[in-house]
Structure formats: C-alpha cells, structure tokens
C-alpha cells in the first residue's frame, strides 16, 4: 500500500528503530495510538501486553488493520480524524497516547492530547527532529509551541529516528518526544495564549517592546509590565521559563484592569 502524500504519511519500517522506540516507552499503560498506518508500532505495542485503541483516518488502511489485529486480544480500531476525538473517553485511566503523527498537524494535535480529561499518564509522539528539539529546549530556545507544551507537561527527547527509517523517507529526520503531564499552569487558558502569541510575534525584540505588542504598541506600558513582573528589560521572550511567563502574564492582566 502506497503512503498518501496528502495525508502526510511516512510509515516506520526499520525494526531497529521500532525496538528503540518501544524500549523508550514507560511500561504498563494501555495506549491510544494515533495514526497506526500499516500497524508496525501497533504490533509492537500489543506484543508488550498493552491494550491499544488505534485511530486511523485513511480509509484504505482500515481493512488491513482489522485483518491484522481483530483476532488479537486488546485491539480496538476507530476510523476517524484524531483532531475530532475525545482522547479521555477512549480508555479508562490510567492510559497513555502514542503517535507517529503527520508533521502538518503536530501543532494542533499535541495541545489537544495534553489537555484531555482525564489526562494521559504520558504522551509519546514522533515529530520532526527540529520540532522535538524546540519542544525540549531549555529557556533561551523556547517558541510558542514550546510554551504550549510546557504549561501541560515536561518533555524529553527520547529517540532520534533518521529519515531512512521511514517509507517514503521524509525530507527531515524525526525524533520521539516523551511528555509527562504535570499540574496545568494556573494561568494557562485562551487569554494567556492570545497574549503569548502577540509577545512571540516580536521575539527578536527585548521584552518591553514585545509586550507592547499586546498593549496597543504602548512601549511605556510594556516597560511597566516587565518591571512589575520583576524581569530584566533586556531579556527576550524565548528566554523566559514557565514561572516567569506566569509572572509576566499576571502583570499584564493587572495593567489592563
């Protein structure tokens, strides 16, 4: 079966990396699998004794997956789009999520998974290596996507997977990011991310100027917010850690009252 370019499919083929990925996963959790493809990782997960609920969008793959795994205990297949699925309703807790997800839905899908209720014990996804490095970066290399993960979970880069391990090979290497959810940051919400998005739009500028972008370009107001947050004015948005983002947003909200 030929992978669909339109669906961003790259099927993992190299058994060396299948084994490396499975070995990197925490033990003993039932798993929601996003994008099982031809079932290479599905088989490996089932062999570990895990229960697997797989979500597949490609209608061509549905008969193949039923044929391979319906006789295997612990396998359930859902035909549909993972972006429309309630992850917390698929398995009783504790559960986990694994996915070899298309690159083009990474930004939309990961926050959706991490925000599911009840929350997964862990989430492991194969993404572009550059994205993985950004999500796992120390302050100084953060992006809006990094922040979007850190308010929900602590990520680690677990396994690097070269392009030749997939069929067809993507243009870039991939990496497995393992995320362990923590208590959701109290300030995280739509309004916070609207603020952070405006600040990151000026990521090359120092903080007062970047914050001013969320204050009608009022640089004086931006300086006051940064000072109230007890942050050095020469810093830039990508250097802030999660606690500092919380202080900055609290000062921003106070300034708007």
Is there a single domain that holds both residue 145 and residue 71? yes
Per-residue pLDDT for 9 more than 80? no
Domain housing 82: 11-181
The pLDDT-based confidence of 126 (bands split at 50, 70, 90) is very high
Total domains in the chain come to 2
What is the distance between the alpha carbons of residues 70 and 67, in angstroms, rounded to a whole number?
6
Residue 6 belongs to a domain = no
The answer on pLDDT for 174 being more than 90 is: yes
Shared domain for 138 and 210, answered yes or no, is: no
Q: Is the pLDDT of residue 36 over 90?
A: yes
Whole-number Å distance between alpha carbons of 187 and 173: 34
Report pLDDT for 73. Answer: 85
The pLDDT value recorded for residue 257 is 86
- At 81 the pLDDT is 94
CA distances in angstroms from 10 to 56, 80, 123, listed in the order given: 14, 18, 20
Spatial CA neighbour of 25 closest among 158, 163, 174: 158
CB atoms < 10 A from the CB of 167, how many?
15
Contacts of 168 (CB under 8 A, 6+ apart): 3, 10
Judge whether 181 and 152 are in contact, CB under 8 Å.
Answer: yes
Q: Give the global pTM.
A: 0.91
Mean pLDDT of the 123-127 span:
97
Asked if the model's pLDDT at residue 6 lies above 80, the reply is no
CATH number of the domain enclosing 219: 1.10.8.100
Q: Is the pLDDT of residue 3 over 80?
A: no
Confidence at residue 102, expressed as pLDDT on a 0 to 100 scale: 83
Determine which helix (DSSP H) or strand (DSSP E) holds 156, and give its type and residue range: strand 153-161
Give me the percent of the chain exceeding a pLDDT of 70. 98
> Could you say which of 124, 150, 181 is where a domain stops?
181
Q: Is 153 exposed, middle or buried (0-12, 13-18, 19+ CB in 10 A)?
A: buried
Looking up residue 107, the CATH number of its domain turns out to be 3.40.50.150
Residue 43: pLDDT above 90? Answer: yes
Using CA atoms, how far apart are residues 9 and 105, in angstroms rounded to an integer?
12
How far apart (Å, rounded) are the C-alpha atoms in residues 199 and 251? 14
Same structural domain, 244 and 202: yes
Asked, as a colleague might, if the bond just before 168 is cis with ω within 30 of 0, I would say yes
Same domain, 133 and 34: yes
Least Cα distance to 83 among 60, 64, 101 occurs for 101
């Amino acid at each position: 079966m030929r992978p669909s370019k339109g669906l961003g499919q790259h099927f993992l083929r190299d058994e060396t990396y299948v084994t490396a990925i499975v070995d990197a996963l925490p033990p003993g959790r039932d798993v929601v699998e996003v994008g099982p493809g031809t079932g290479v990782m599905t088989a490996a997960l089932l062999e570990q004794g895990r229960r697997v609920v797989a979500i597949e969008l490609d209608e061509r793959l549905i008969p193949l997956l039923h044929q391979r795994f319906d006789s295997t205990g612990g396998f359930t297949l859902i035909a549909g789009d993972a972006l429309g699925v309630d992850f917390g309703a698929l398995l009783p807790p504790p559960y986990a999520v694994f996915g070899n997800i298309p690159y083009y839905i990474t930004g939309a899908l990961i926050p959706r998974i991490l925000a599911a209720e009840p929350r997964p014990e862990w989430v492991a996804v194969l993404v572009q290596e550059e994205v993985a490095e950004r999500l796992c970066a120390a302050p100084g290399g953060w992006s809006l996507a990094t922040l979007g993960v850190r308010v929900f979970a602590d990520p680690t880069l677990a396994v690097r997977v070269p392009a030749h391990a997939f069929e067809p090979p993507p243009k870039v290497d991939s990496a497995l990011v393992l995320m362990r959810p923590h208590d959701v940051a109290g300030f995280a919400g739509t309004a916070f991310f609207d603020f952070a998005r405006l600040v990151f739009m000026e990521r090359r500028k120092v903080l007062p100027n970047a914050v001013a972008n969320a204050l009608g370009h009022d640089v004086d107001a931006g300086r006051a917010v940064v000072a109230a947050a007890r942050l050095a004015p020469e810093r830039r948005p990508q250097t802030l850690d999660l606690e500092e983002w919380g202080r900055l947003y609290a000062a921003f909200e106070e300034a708007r009252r």
